[in-house]
Structure 1
Amino acid sequence: MLTEEEFAEFYTHSVRRLTGQLYVITGDLHEAEDAVHDAFVRAWNKRRHLDRGHAPEAWVRTVACRLAISRWRRLRRGQQAWAGRLDADSVPGPDPTTVDLTAALRRLPARQRLCAALYYVGDLPVEEIAAETGMATGTVKTHLSRARAALSRHINPADPTDLTDRSTGENRDA
């Protein structure tokens, strides 16, 4: 059971970290902030049932992810309903500095992107990611390894310093 003071301390120490993690997962800072704050409102209403020993941060992160997914689905349905009604020239393009990383992250399968976000942005250990996502530890490690390899290929497809032969996987310098 979290008291009001403990909940306030929990919020203060967790809100930025959770918002950053959701930002990497969703790609939209405002959506991440909204989802995290809504998840904290729900956590406040259940604070009597939350316990520090039962990972309240993981609970809030899970709720925030589910809220973001629900909102994304609702937005997608709305966009499909309005398809063809918007002038494509009226929408400004994305910032060029974020296009490569965003595109590379979107190419990753959802589980790889989730594991990479929780590990690199959330700074969670592999065991905690496994417990939170319901995956085996080895599966999380595999997703992280594949995510790193895929991001490397997508961001620097023709890196001249990369001496690995793509056809054999061996170092060409050896």
Structure 2
Amino acid sequence: MTVTDEVPTSHAGGAADTAGARVVAALSDDLDGGFAVLYEAYRGAVFSTALRLCGRWAEAEDLSAEAFLRAYRALCGYGPERIEALRPRAWLLTILANVWRNSLRSASRRPQAGPIEEAPDPPDPGEGVEDAAARRETGRELAALLARLPHDQRAAVVLRHVTDLPVAEIAAVLGMPEGTVKSHISRGLARLRVLRGAGRPGEEQKGGVR
């Protein structure tokens, strides 16, 4: 998929996005100045998503930088109407998801990277996986568990519980039906529960997976 194919457009009845409207207005007024506004508005969401997708700090920085570079190149080719139709957050995360997928294809040809070195303390052992995933910085434990999920499940769980996107927006970002997104989220969370329980004696028997 090319960058110019990656543009979710606005739709009637969608929730108001104040930040998105501000970014679109800035981009419409001046591309370079507007891109700086876009970067400041969404760099945190892009990096947090990248970190939980790949599980490594340095790689997340690379993925984020590449996503913003592709975004800028794409914007240089957009006319006023296309810029006005953007939903910036979903658009950026779509680009990021594609950059991440591309990185997975070449991962086997690269040396295995080490774990996150600057992550904070692990989540509370009694905390549910949904709550743990919802915290932007969740530590080594959850990063390692997320890395063991199938790619589609990992992306769906991260976008829902880290980036806090609604299901409809996740479906647009990942290019799949909403029902499939819901299934990936449900299965991914269930798998995380099993993986967490496997490290705690008796936990699997107590919690199980419904």
Query: Which residue identity lines up with residue 24 of structure 1 in the other structure?
Result: R
C-alpha distance in 2 between matches for 1:93 and 1:134 = 29
Q: Does 2:150 align with 1:109?
A: yes
Question: What CA RMSD, in Å, does the superposition of the two structures yield over aligned residues?
Answer: 3.2
Equivalent pair of 1:112/1:146 in contact (CA under 8 Å): yes
Equivalent pair of 2:53/2:158 in contact (CA under 8 Å): yes
Partner of 1:36: 64
Q: Using a 3 Å threshold, how does the CA distance of structure 1 residues 142 and 41 change in structure 2: closer, same or farther?
A: same
Match of 1:140 among 181, 204, 207: 181
The alignment covers a number of residue pairs equal to 157
Q: Does 2:152 align with 1:124?
A: no
Match of 2:75 among 47, 59, 73: 47
Equivalent pair of 1:108/1:147 in contact (CA under 8 Å): yes
Partner of 2:17: none
| Structure 2, unaligned runs of 5 or more | 1-23, 123-138
Q: Using a 3 Å threshold, how does the CA distance of structure 1 residues 92 and 144 change in structure 2: closer, same or farther?
A: closer
Q: Using a 3 Å threshold, how does the CA distance of structure 1 residues 107 and 147 change in structure 2: closer, same or farther?
A: same
C-alpha distance in 1 between matches for 2:114 and 2:58 = 18
Partner of 1:88: none
Partner of 2:47: 19
Equivalent pair of 1:17/1:122 in contact (CA under 8 Å): yes
Report how far residue 99 of structure 1 moved: 5.2
SS at match of 2:92: helix
Match of 1:67 among 99, 107, 111: 99
Equivalent pair of 1:40/1:60 in contact (CA under 8 Å): yes
Partner of 2:90: 58
TM-score w.r.t. length of structure 1: 0.72
TM-score w.r.t. length of structure 2: 0.61
Match of 1:79 among 111, 136, 143: 111
